[in-house]
Chains A and B, each alone.
Chain A
Amino acid sequence: MAAPATQLSGPAALSAFSRPARSLWGDAWHQFRRHRLAMAGLVSLIFLVVATLLGPYVWTVSTSEIDFTQSLLGPGFAHPFGTDDLGRDLLARAMSGGRVSIAVGVSAVLLAITLGTTIGSLAGYFGKLDNPLMRLTDVFLSLPVLPLLLVIIYLFKDTLRQLFGAEAGVFIMIVSVIGILNWMPVARLVRASFLSLKQKEFVEAARAIGDPDMRIIIKHILPNVLSPVLVAATIGVGNAILTESTLSFLGLGFPPDVPTWGRLLFDAQNYLDFAPHWALFPGLCIFVTVLSINFIGDGLRDALDPRKSS
């Protein structure tokens, strides 16, 4: 980006003003670091991810061991997050549930981004496909997402459970349904960028040297669409985690033996008067995760917006 300016100055001036060359992503990182809340979000998200991934190796208390003498204890030394009605340790459960919650969020967004980018780039690049694909997008955008999610999951849960087992079946189901019902904004975004980018000279040049369409789409246009998609993906992960926990909270998500954060809240809601800690900690986990992700998304948007970089 700054290449022409450095070429103008002589070698001496160059060494006087020199700073290490920065790539586009290096620039973005430089901008991102200046966004304090985004950095705070990044730190706390890394902490949460590491805690859910490595935590169970450090805090080796069982997630499923039932001990009625220890039931509904408040937070303390033996159980930092307290225990549930069966005396199970809530810290251990929150950590293993967090893995599932975060994994669902990331996988669902990967699916939505893949679908959305594919459909959006096809619609934006090939004029003939534009109208039918956008009609399809409009229909999907008019679907009532939450009610439909609830219905589909309730109806097909048992079939998938038989096919893939209790945990994997529900995982595949929730990820694919969230993914299939959330690709539309990405498709619209990608299509809009493709429509303007395919008129640009560099695409014309690529076509002139005989690049096939697929190569132009993947090698030349797609990299230019990456940054808005990345921002949408980041915020999408937060939303997918919220959706999963909403489903689990309504009792339509994972089975009771997979303690996702939403599921813990679902179980906790009947004990609010004796054991508020049971609801508090999983709720805080969801809140901190989603808040961090949203701040990161905000920081990324600022960092990757070319209008803002000075």
Chain B
Amino acid sequence: MGRYILRRLLVAIPTLIVISFIIYAVLALSPIDPLSAFGADPRVPPEVRENIRRSLGLDQPWPIRYVKWFTALIQGDLGYSFMSHSPVIGLIVQRLPNTLAVVGVAYVIGVLIALPVGMISAVKRYSLVDQVATTFAFIGFSTPTFFTGLLLIIIFSVNLHWLPFIYNSNLKIEDLGSFLQQVKQSIMPITVLGLFDAAVLTRYVRSEMLEHLPLDYVRTARSKGLRERAVILSHVLRNSLIPVVTLIALGVPAVFAGAIVTEQIFRVPGIGEMLVRAIFDGDIPVVAAVVFLFSVLVVSFNLVADVLYAVLDPRIKYT
């Protein structure tokens, strides 16, 4: 097992290096000048612009810039934002809690809805409950999150005036009142993401349970005289959860990507909103750092999924 984990880690590291190279190459080969923000300003004389370019190291060929960027990156230095002139790492640290709060709570809610619904749906296949759950799941993952978000705004903010339109990031939780305000402004973003996650995960849970229900060991458990409850909960569910747990891990990066859209709708100041803004501003260091952060998420949760699968399923021998 230890060797397996080690081997997977050794694959993950070169993968990340290749990805970081791809990201940097895409940014470096693009026709957009990273200094276009200065370029638009006619008061900056050309020689000053050249000096800025040189001081930022932009006169060097991009492979060299990549090596420099990457060596700084592994030392934890993500460079400086062109726009705010502050270290990128600080901006990320400042914004990450907002994203984590929304995405994390939403994903937990999604899992908590999906497990029982998927299970009941599979056990009572083709029943009314199953049909309703299946229809809702299909509706859930066929609705783009930005449309759900806009619908919630129309209903709960515009018509009913129950919830605030826009997320207030300066809100400090000091007493019960501000805490309730925080809850109120988080409800819509979390609902949008949570319902989407729940819809996707319900389908996984249901189909995994359905794979296991007709198997021989289930019949054996029943013929031993176990109650149906025990058969489902301690035999079928436990075995079906092995792939479900890995799917939950694999889904985490997609959930973060989904947060880009949700943060945009509700103006939640998280890393997704920061990425979109940085793209429009041409703030290359921020873009590179955030996109790389997303790939670290993808690679590490792939790793987590593989390791979890190995840990949870003793039938598979890894060397």
- Tell me the bound Cα distance from A159 to B146 in angstroms: 29
Does A96 sit within 8 A of B, measured CB to CB? no
A11 within 8 A of B: no
B294 contacts A144, CB within 8 Å? yes
Q: Are A272 and B154 in contact (CB under 8 A)?
A: yes
Query: Given A238-B142, A287-B143, A287-B144, A144–B150 Cβ distance below 8 Å?
Result: no
Q: Is A260 an interface residue (CB 8 A)?
A: no
Tell me the minimal C-beta distance from B86 to chain A in angstroms: 21
Interface residue B265 (Cβ < 8 Å from any Cβ of A): yes
Q: Is the CB of A155 within 8 A of B26?
A: yes
Residues of B contacting A147 in the complex (Cβ-Cβ under 8 angstroms): 257, 260, 275, 290-291, 294
Indicate whether B32 reaches chain A with its CB closer than 8 angstroms. yes
The complex places the Cα of A291 from the Cα of B150 at a distance, in Å, of: 18
Q: Which residues of chain B come closer than 8 Å to A242, judged between CB atoms? A: 144
Within 8 A of A (CB), among B266-301: 275-276, 279-280, 287, 290-291, 294-295, 297-299
Which residues of A lie under 8 Å from residue B280 when comparing CB positions? 154, 251
CB of A83 within 8 Å of the partner chain: no
**Does A14 sit within 8 A of B, measured CB to CB?**
no
On chain A, the number of residues with a Cβ less than 8 Å from chain B's Cβ atoms is: 45
Main secondary structure of the interface of A (DSSP, over half): helix
Query: Least Cβ distance of A196 to chain B in Å?
Result: 19
Query: What is the CA–CA distance of A159 and B18 in the complex, to the nearest angstrom?
Result: 26
Cα–Cα, bound, A150→B263 (Å) = 15
- Contacting pair A158 B26 (CB below 8 A): no
Residues on the A chain within 8 Å of B201, using CB? none
Q: Known contacts A250-B261, A287-B143; can you find 12 more A-B pairs with CB under 8 A?
A: A138-B11, A142-B302, A143-B22, A144-B298, A147-B294, A151-B26, A151-B27, A252-B279, A272-B158, A287-B147, A291-B138, A294-B138
Q: List 27 A-B contacts (CB under 8 A).
A: A37-B138, A139-B22, A142-B295, A143-B19, A144-B291, A146-B260, A147-B257, A147-B291, A152-B26, A154-B279, A155-B31, A155-B32, A156-B31, A249-B261, A250-B261, A251-B280, A262-B144, A265-B150, A272-B158, A276-B154, A279-B147, A279-B151, A283-B144, A283-B147, A291-B142, A291-B143, A294-B142
